[in-house]
Structure 1
Amino acid sequence: MFAAARRSATSKSFTRAFSSTPRAQSDVAKLILIGRLGKNPEVRMTRSDKEYISYTVATTNYPPPPPNPDGTRPEPSTSWHTILSFSPTANNYLRTLQKGSQVYVEANYELREADPAADADSPAAQRQILLRHETIRVLKRASAPSESS
């Protein structure tokens, strides 16, 4: 009896999940990556002399792609993701990471459309994905290179 009363009370207060009212502060495009650092993070400078860090995370598509018509399965491919960090606090930490470390990364995802006025051979003439660093966790540190190698 009480459960039925509770259900009817909650169904009356139900609000729609989607609305025509713009809510820009709740819209988000986020990418989560679990992979390995492809190289040591690099310090770079913007045109206005602001320091930022660029780092690359390699991921492998898993499970592998579906089998070919002849029954063979193609090898999984590696994707390379370049992430940019503009946070001084995060940049200090990113400097300590090494190539090969397994990381969990959350990044804001932005798709930039091509500039129709740009030279066809330039990067500006192509759609670009911008990944802006949000958080990183090291899952496994890269092993230190041995002295013999």
Structure 2
Amino acid sequence: MMSAARFATAPRAASRAFSTSASRSSDLAKLVLIGRLGKDPELRRTKTDKEYVSYTVATTNYPPPPPGPDGARPEPKTSWHTVTSFHPGVNNYLQNLRKGSHVYVEANYEMRDLEPEGDATHGQKHVFLRHEMIRVLKGPPSHAGEEGAEH
């Protein structure tokens, strides 16, 4: 015999219908990039004289877009992502990386309003990527570098 107690469910605290994991007290926007450094990382300074390193990662959409009506595939497009690091210890490491290195990057993703310059930038946003972690997957094509290092 089946009893009603058998099918009863225990009340759950703060459950979410779309996820079985516990809810977080803060939200997160993170971007993962796998690509090549477009140029050597650069040491720069903010307006308040704080040092930071800026580096650019090039990624290509893959697989390439589907063939067009004529049967030809369009060329894959390259996207350029500028990542900024404010970690003093990591900045020394980043400055030793070279253009062409194949890297895996994790960065916090933030949308910021552009500084107004006349009416040209009204309502426009800028994607700000703050460095969290980088791993060199392969050194630049012409140099043998540190592979698998993580910072």
The two structures have a TM-score, normalised by structure 1, of: 0.77
The structure richer in helix per residue is 1
Match of 2:101 in 1: 101
Match of 1:26 in 2: 26
Q: How many residues align?
A: 134
Q: Match of 1:82, as an amino acid?
A: T
Q: CA deviation at 1:59?
A: 0.5
In the aligned structure 2, how far is the partner of 1:39 from the partner of 1:72? Answer: 32
Residue 48 (structure 1) aligned with residue 48 (structure 2): yes
Asked if the contact 1:118–1:125 (Cα under 8 Å) also holds between the matched residues in 2, the reply is no
In the aligned structure 1, how far is the partner of 2:51 from the partner of 2:66? Answer: 43
Identity %: 61
Residue 64 (structure 1) aligned with residue 72 (structure 2): no
Q: CA deviation at 1:110?
A: 0.7
1:126 to 124, 130, 134: 124
In structure 2, do the counterparts of structure 1 residues 37 and 98 end up closer, same or farther at CA, with 3 Å as the change threshold? same
In the aligned structure 2, how far is the partner of 1:80 from the partner of 1:124? Answer: 23
Residue 137 (structure 1) aligned with residue 139 (structure 2): no
The alignment yields a C-alpha RMSD, in angstroms, of: 2.8
Q: CA deviation at 1:36?
A: 0.4
Q: Which runs of 5+ in 2 are unaligned?
A: 145-151
Instruction: After the TM superposition, list the runs of 4 or more consecutive aligned residues in structure 1 that deviate by more than 4 angstroms.
Output: none
Q: CA deviation at 1:114?
A: 4.4
Q: CA deviation at 1:144?
A: 2.4
* SS of match in other structure, 1:94: helix
